Amino acid sequence: MKLRITIDGPAGAGKSTVARELAQALGYGYLDTGAMYRALTLAALRNGVGGDNEAGLKDLLETIDLRLEHGHLRLDGADVADEIRQPAVDRMVSLVAAHPSVRTALVARQRQMASAGGVVMDGRDAGSVVLPEAECKFFLTASLAARAGRRHREMLAQGVRVDIVDVEREMASRDAQDEMRAVGALKVPEGAIVVDTTGLSVAEVVERLLNYCRERGA
């Protein structure tokens, strides 16, 4: 059976790596909802639309071409995987993602992209808002230090030189914004399995999730 699987949790909990590997192991598609908020933020930076300009962001969303091709998100036809991880996008994305009309529009697209099933979706509200009826829901978490350490290594690998103290500070402030916003706030979805990934390898986490999904018929 082609299930719908959601993985939510704070930044740096290992969601995207785990989601990608889980999708691969099951032969499912992978949908990174954070990348969609990031791509819109990148478009806003390029077009001079402020993060607090909800109407401008909503208009922008209607003019840009955001699509998923073989698991890769494309913005106006280009692969923007690296650009959407820039610190400028990190700093602005929570503000962009807090606007209710932006969320409504992106959530509708996410549901449509997942409508055929056989998908692993990661985000903040994937199991609570986008696909509350998903067959397997997970919530990954880890200590702030572990999460900041992972994101720091990821950034260094991409050639972005930043201080780990700044990564940790920025991450804590983004968590707070993501948890406190009125719509689509980060929370443990009803019925989700919570996995603390501090000290666990990616392979261990994937194995745990995979076993659970297999038991559910994946």
Q: Is 168 in the site for ligand DC (CB under 6 A)?
A: no
Min CB(64)–ligand DC separation in Å:
16
Choose, by CB under 6 A, the member of 6, 86, 94, 128 that binds ligand DC.
94
Which of 37, 51, 119, 189 touches ligand DC (CB under 6 A)?
37
Applying CB under 6 A, among 4, 99, 124, 152 the residue interacting with ligand DC is 124
Residue from 31, 42, 75, 93 in contact with ligand DC (CB under 6 A): 93
Is residue 86 within the footprint of ligand DC (CB under 6 A)? Answer: no
Give the count of residues interacting with ligand DC (CB under 6 A): 15
Residue 125 contacts ligand DC per CB under 6 A: yes
Query: What is the per-residue binding string for ligand DC in 172-211, x denoting contact by CB under 6 A?
Result: --x---x-----x---------------------------
Closest approach of ligand DC to the CB of residue 56, in Å: 18
Beta bridge partners of 75: 66, 78
Query: Which residues of the chain form contacts with ligand DC (CB under 6 A)?
Result: 11, 33-34, 37-38, 93-94, 97, 123-126, 174, 178, 184
